[in-house]
């Protein structure tokens, strides 16, 4: 099974609200940078350029959209969407519970910042 197929399978097995959020994140990532590699690491979808950029995971009570080197975003680039991972030296994330809404334009802007700034995890 290819990595994109594994990600499709993973998404198809999630509750609908989680599948919708991760599918939207995936769509925005690939709109911003269509040549991102879709990888399967740590039993979760990961998107990479030269190095890893983002990951997404469905948990029992929430979905985590993770920027793997989001701690390096310049202060002006920090988004009101980021709400988790502040204790990490590298990651910053967005945790969403069922029923939470997300500003897709703001999320796409955050993805663009990560890609443009070449903020990648090691």
CATH number at residue 50: 3.90.1150.200
**Does a structural domain hold residue 57?**
yes
Within-domain flag for 62: yes
* pLDDT > 60? residue 25: yes
In a domain, 61, yes or no: yes
Q: Is residue 98 part of a domain?
A: yes
- The pLDDT score that the predictor gives to residue 19 is 98
Residue 19 lies in a domain: yes
CB–CB of 109/119 below 8 Å? no
pLDDT one-digit tens code per residue, 44-88: 999 998 888 999 999 999 999 999 888 887 555 567 889 998 888
Which pTM was predicted? 0.91
Average pLDDT over residues 101-111: 94
Q: Give the domain range for residue 12.
A: 3-116
User: Looking at residues 87-94, what average pLDDT do you find?
Assistant: 90
Residues whose CB falls within 8 Å of the CB of residue 19, separated by 6 or more in sequence, listed in order: 11, 12, 58
What pLDDT score was predicted for residue 121? 47
Nearest-angstrom CA–CA distance, 120 and 122: 6
Helix axes 104-116, 16-32, angle to 10 degrees: 50
Q: For residue 122, what pLDDT is reported?
A: 47
């Amino acid at each position: 099974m290819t990595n994109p197929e594994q990600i499709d399978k993973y998404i198809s097995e999630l509750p609908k609200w989680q599948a919708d959020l991760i599918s939207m994140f995936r769509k925005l990532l690939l709109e911003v940078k269509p040549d991102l590699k879709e990888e399967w690491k740590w039993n979760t979808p990961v998107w990479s350029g030269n190095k890893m950029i983002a990951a997404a995971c469905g948990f029992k009570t929430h979905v985590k959209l993770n920027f793997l080197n989001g701690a390096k975003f310049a202060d002006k680039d920090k988004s009101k969407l980021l709400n988790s991972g502040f204790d990490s030296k590298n990651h910053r994330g967005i945790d969403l519970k069922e029923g939470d809404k997300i500003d897709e334009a703001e999320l796409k802007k955050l993805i663009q910042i990560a890609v443009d700034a070449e903020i990648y995890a090691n």
